[in-house]
Structure 1
Amino acid sequence: MTAPMPGATHPATPALALLLDVDGPVASPVTRDVKPEIIADLVSLASAGIPVIFNTGRSDAFIREQVMVPMIAAGMPTGTVVHAICEKGAVWFSYTSGGPGPIHMDHELAVPKAYGDDVRRMVAEDYAAHMFFDETKRAMVSVEQHLDVSNDDYLAEQKLFDADALELMGRHGLSAALLDHHAPESDDAADYRLDPTIISTDIESVRLGKDLGASRAVELLAAQGITPQAWRTVGDSRTDYAMADWLHHNDHSVKHIDVRPADGVPNKPYDVLTATDLGLGEDVIHDDAGGAFLRSWREALVG
C-alpha cells in the first residue's frame, strides 16, 4: 500500500471520512465534468483534515484531469493529501498540491490484453457511432457513451454490445457473466464480469469492486495514522452500496448516501440517506444531490 506522502499532516481521528464514487455524485453523468462549487467544497473539507477518498471505476487519468487539477487550481494547500482508488480497486494513487504521487496497480486484476484489443476492434467496427473505447484504463476494459448520443439510444445499443462482449469472452476461453451487483466478499463463479452503468460498460475481474476500494481506503488512511470516527459513502448505483457494506461488515460506523435512488433503496443494517433527508425534492439527484451533501458537511465541519 502507498506510504504517506511527505509533508502531510492530518488529525488522527477526524469526525468523518468521505468515500466518494465519482460519476454521478461528483462528476455530472451528462457533461462528465465537476462543478466549481463541488471542487471548492472538496478542497475545504480536505484542507480541514476530513479525509477525501475517491472510489471509482474511472481511470487515474480521468481523476487527474477532472478532479485533481481543478482542486489544485482552487487552492488546495500544501500538506493536504487526497487519495484516489480507480478502476474499482485495481489502480490507486494519492495527490497533493504538488501533483500526483506514484501510480500503483495490481496487475493480477487486469483483463487479458488480447481480449481488450479485440473489444477495441469490435467497438471501432460495430459500435463507434454510440460509444468509444476508453484508452486510459490500465486493468479494466471499458466503453462509454459519446456525449452527443442520447442516453436512450446508447442504452439500447449497450445491450447489443454487452451480448457481443460476453460472447467474445467465451471465444477467448474466459469465463464471464453479465452482472448488475457484486456483493462484498462474494464467491462469483466467473473470473470476469460485465458491469453496465447508465453511461458505460466496465469489463473487469470479479475481484474488483467498490468493496475492494473501501478496503484500500482504510489501508491508505491507516498508513497515515488516521482512523476516522465515522464514514460517509456516496454513490449512484446499487453496486456502490458495497462500499458501506464492507465498512459496516468490518465494524466501521458508516452511512451511505444514494444520489440516484430511483432503483430503490435496499434494506441495510446502516442508515441510507437521499436528497430528501436534506429537505430537497426527489428530483434532486446525481451531482446536484452529491454537491448538496458535500455543502452540508462543509458547513457542519468547516463553517
Structure 2
Amino acid sequence: MPETVSPLGLLLDVDGPIASPDTRTISTPSIITDLITLAGANVPIGFITGRSAQFISEQVVTPLVAAGLPQEMRMYGVCEKGAVWFPITAAGMGDIVVDASVALPEVVAGRIRELVASDYADSMFFDETKLAMISVEQRTDVDRSRYHVAQASFEAAAYTILVEHGLGVRFGDLVSPDATGAVPFRIDTTIISTDIESVDLDKDHAAERAVAFFAQGGPLPRVWRSVGDSRSDYKMADHLYAAGFDVAHVDVRPADGILDRGYPVIVEGDLIHDEAGAAFLGYWVQKLGLAEPVSL
C-alpha cells in the first residue's frame, strides 16, 4: 500500500446512500465505478451498516469484485452495527469475525421468527442472515405505509416476548430491566425494518473499529466524510469528530431532521437516498481529479 496520505476517508451506511431502500440493491451503476475509482486512489472506504455480512457480500462486494476492485486498497465492512466485521480485498470478503457476546438468545430469536410467520408474514420477513442481532424487514412487494402499520403492532408484540424471557429491553419510552436491573437490549425502528439488538452496538463503535483497521494499512487521511440516511448514522461522524479529524456528515434523508452538530452537515440539494449517495461520490471523483477526461 502506498505510504502517501489519502486526501479523503469514507464511512458509508449501505441502505439509503449506496443501496436503494426500495430494491435493496445498488441500482445506480456510477456508485460501483466511483467506489472502485476512489478505492484505487488510496481512499479508505468503510461500509458501516446494520445489514448482515451475507447481504453485503451479495449486494455490495460481489458487484464491486465483478467490476474490478484494485489490488491495493483499504476497504472494510462492519455489519450489524458493530457485531460483525471483515476486510474486503480484490478477491472478495476476508474472514468474518462475530462478537458472540452481544448476540440475543436463540430461544428469543425463535419466538420472534414464529411471531413473524404466524401473524406478520404478509408484510415482513425474518432476516435469517443475521449472526448477532434480530432483524425483521419489510417485504419489497408491500407498500411502505401498510408495512409501518404492521411494524408498530409487531414491535409491541416483540417487546412483550423479550420481557417474558426476562431480557432487559428498551423500546421507545418503555423500559423493562432484567433481574439485575440492567437493560442490555433495545428495539430500534427503521423505515424498512426493526432491529432487536445489544445497546453496545452502534455506528460510533463500528466507525472506531473501521478506522483502527485502516490505520494498520498506512497513514490516515485528515479529511473524512460519513454518509447515511438515519439519525443514528451521525454517530459515525461523532466518532471522527471526537478523534480530531476534519469531518462532515452527508445526510441523504434530511427530511427526518438535520441534527445540530459541531461539524458541517451536507445535503445533496433535493436528491435523497442512493441518488444523493451517487451525487456525493461523483463529486469527490471530480474533486480529486480522478474522472476520465471527456473526449470531444
TM-score, structure 1 length as denominator? Answer: 0.90
User: In the alignment, what sits opposite 1:247?
Assistant: 240
The yes-or-no answer on 1:15 pairing with 2:7 is yes
The yes-or-no answer on 1:299 pairing with 2:286 is yes
- Cα deviation code 1:208-252 (max 9, x no counterpart): 000111111111111213312111000001111111112112222
User: In the alignment, what sits opposite 2:274?
Assistant: 287
User: In the alignment, what sits opposite 1:185?
Assistant: none
User: In the alignment, what sits opposite 2:176?
Assistant: none
Tell me the amino acid that sits aligned with residue 57 of structure 2.
R
- Cα deviation code 1:96-116 (max 9, x no counterpart): 121211001111111111111
User: In the alignment, what sits opposite 1:153?
Assistant: 146
User: In the alignment, what sits opposite 1:31?
Assistant: 23
Cα distance in 1, alignment partners of residues 135 and 3 from structure 2: 37
User: In the alignment, what sits opposite 2:252?
Assistant: 259
The yes-or-no answer on 1:162 pairing with 2:155 is yes
Matched-pair contact (CA < 8 Å) for 1:11–1:49: no
- Cα deviation code 1:65-108 (max 9, x no counterpart): 11101011111122234201100010001121212110011111
Tell me the amino acid that sits aligned with residue 291 of structure 1.
A
Tell me the amino acid that sits aligned with residue 177 of structure 1.
R
The yes-or-no answer on 1:109 pairing with 2:111 is no
Tell me the amino acid that sits aligned with residue 232 of structure 1.
R
Structure 1, unaligned runs of 5 or more: 1-8, 181-187, 277-281
User: In the alignment, what sits opposite 2:167?
Assistant: 174
Matched-pair contact (CA < 8 Å) for 2:11–2:46: yes
Match of 2:194, SS state, is: strand
User: In the alignment, what sits opposite 1:183?
Assistant: none
Matched-pair contact (CA < 8 Å) for 1:24–1:236: yes
Cα distance in 2, alignment partners of residues 229 and 14 from structure 1: 8
Tell me the amino acid that sits aligned with residue 223 of structure 1.
Q
Which residues of 2 match residues 1-303 of structure 1 at below 5 A?
9-34=1-26, 35-179=28-172, 190-276=183-269, 282=270, 284-301=271-288, 302-303=290-291
Cα distance in 1, alignment partners of residues 265 and 133 from structure 2: 29
Q: Percent identity?
A: 50
Cα distance in 1, alignment partners of residues 267 and 96 from structure 2: 33
Match of 2:166, SS state, is: coil
Q: Cα–Cα, structure 1 residues 179 and 74, in superposed 2: closer, same or farther, change >3 Å?
A: farther
Tell me the amino acid that sits aligned with residue 43 of structure 1.
I
Match of 1:232, SS state, is: strand
**RMSD between aligned residues:** 1.5
Matched-pair contact (CA < 8 Å) for 1:12–1:227: no
Cα distance in 1, alignment partners of residues 5 and 90 from structure 2: 23
Cα distance in 1, alignment partners of residues 157 and 4 from structure 2: 49
Matched-pair contact (CA < 8 Å) for 1:12–1:228: no
Matched-pair contact (CA < 8 Å) for 2:5–2:220: yes
Tell me the amino acid that sits aligned with residue 265 of structure 1.
I
| Aligned-pair CA distance for 1:13 | 2.2
Q: Cα–Cα, structure 1 residues 295 and 11, in superposed 2: closer, same or farther, change >3 Å?
A: farther
Structure 2, unaligned runs of 5 or more: 174-180, 292-296
Matched-pair contact (CA < 8 Å) for 1:10–1:226: no
| Aligned-pair CA distance for 1:172 | 0.8
Match of 2:131, SS state, is: coil
Tell me the amino acid that sits aligned with residue 28 of structure 1.
S
TM-score, structure 2 length as denominator? Answer: 0.92
